[in-house]
Copies of this chain bind each other. A is one copy, B any other.
Amino acid sequence: MKNKLYFKLKNKKVQEEVFESICKEQNEIGYYSLPEQDISPILDYTKTISEEITQIAVIGIGGSSLGAKAVYEFIKPIKALQRELYFFESTDPINIINLLSQLDLKKTHFLVISKSGTTVETFSIYKYIYSINQNAQAYTFITDPNSPLEAYANEINASVLYLPDNVGGRFSVLSTVGLIPLALSGIDIQSLLDGALTLKKSFFEAGYMKDTLLKKAVFYARHHGQYRINCIFAYSETLKYFCEWYVQLWGESLGKKQRHSAFNVGLTPIGLIGPKDQHSFLQLIMEGTRNKSVTFIKIENFKEDIVIPDISLKHLESLDTLNHLPFSKLINMQCDSVTEALLEEDIPLDTISIEEVNEENMGALMFYYELLTSLVGELIDVNTYDQPGVEAGKIILKKKLEKEEQMKS
């Protein structure tokens, strides 16, 4: 993975300061040590799931689904996988009915993932599915140790797996939360971790990524009053759910009250897919308010490729320049063309090149974004790892549910 920055920055001192803070933070925050974990307990667990199980349904929302989905949807198109993954992540009845209609319950194992063990969406869906299939062996629960959910799982004799300490939902893709569904699907989770570890070492051991990530983070933080919107423009449909994962990671980590002020700060993430969004959001970047930075992501080698045939269409001869071109080359030329067009408009941007679609590169890319998020959070003085703003809505819902129950009785 290469990352080229097109903006300049001198503040060496602030870069060294934030690097020190992050080095210290490593001892408290759990996600930093996930790349080095021993995955043998996870692989042992996967052996307990029968080969007759061909469908894995994840019941989880937000941090409990977005990471696994991002990796799965990235790898699935280029690899024959052992099992399919399905994600129940909405209380929309139409969505639940439709997902269930795609499952063969005899061949399905359900992973119920909830850190707290009391997520409303997860348990309303779980109750519904459990009413249809009361075989406890069809479920595995992933939760915090000593949560009420662990007690429940033990009660019904179902498998329970634990989240590591101090790993928040949106930083949990490389923990059991992401690794269990991915391992069950047949994705190479060791390579995923290896990629993350390479990136981690390159940052912490003063490699190529240290300088790059520090510069980028300081640029985003220093200019966050002007460039409030940070777009990823990824040139591959396989990165669509990676973008959704990024939106949660960035938005929920950085949109906060500052620790030492009464200010509300934050950076707004946008995920775009090229070339499609050249025909949608690009106009706004090119000519709209200058409040956006852009990171282009492109894949250098597509494993599967096809070539535009040498056909000349009468009256459309101007399109003959496309002939003989591999699509992989065309999509990257499109990416380069838009990059150059934005550079001419002085829009702050950088480009990330991924050699090819595989687990290792996705692990590196995810760890890169996790580190960048931690750095920017530290620089803009927020608690990167909490999400107090979502509590208000939950409390109101709880009151509404209690009122509803009183009306029933």
Contact = CB atoms under 8 A, between A and B. Distances in A.
Interface string A144-156: 0000110110010
A342 to B, nearest CB: 8
Given A124-B325, A287-B389, A314 B94 contact: no
A267 to B, nearest CB: 8
Interface in A194-235: 228-229, 235
Interface residues of A, number: 122
A256 interface: yes
B288 A268 contact: yes
Nearest to A386: B283
B62 A280 contact: yes
A218 to B, nearest CB: 19
A368 interface: no
A308 interface: yes
Given A127-B311, A276-B89, A393-B278, A283 B255 contact: yes
A404 interface: yes
A336 B95 CA distance: 20
A238 interface: yes
Contacts of A304: 93-94, 97
Contact of A77 (B94, B313, B338): B94
Given A270-B270, A284-B268, A322-B124, A275 B61 contact: yes
A207 to B, nearest CB: 30
Nearest to A252: B283
A279 B123 contact: no
Nearest to A292: B268
A406 to B, nearest CB: 10
A133 B388 CA distance: 56
A80 interface: no
Contact of A315 (B62, B78, B152): B152
B268 A151 contact: no
Contact of A247 (B265, B281, B286, B393): B281
A408 B313 CA distance: 20
B408 A324 contact: yes
Interface stretch (A16-24, A42-50, A326-334): A326-334
A266 interface: yes
B121 A98 contact: no
B237 A151 contact: no
B283 A325 contact: no
Interface in A372-409: 387-390, 392-394, 396-398, 400-402, 404-405, 408
A62 B279 contact: yes
Contacts of A268: 229, 268, 270, 284, 288-289, 291-292
Interface of A: 61-63, 66, 77-78, 89-98, 117-118, 120-121, 123-124, 127-128, 130-131, 148-149, 151-152, 155, 169, 228-229, 235-238, 244, 247-248, 251-252, 254-257, 264-268, 270, 273, 275-276, 278-292, 302-306, 308-309, 311, 313-316, 318-328, 330-331, 333-334, 336-338, 340-341, 344-345, 357, 387-390, 392-394, 396-398, 400-402, 404-405, 408
5 contacts: A92-B302, A127-B322, A268-B292, A284-B389, A336-B396
Closest CB pairs A-B (n = 9): A62-B279, A266-B288, A255-B284, A255-B288, A286-B389, A248-B280, A287-B389, A93-B327, A341-B392
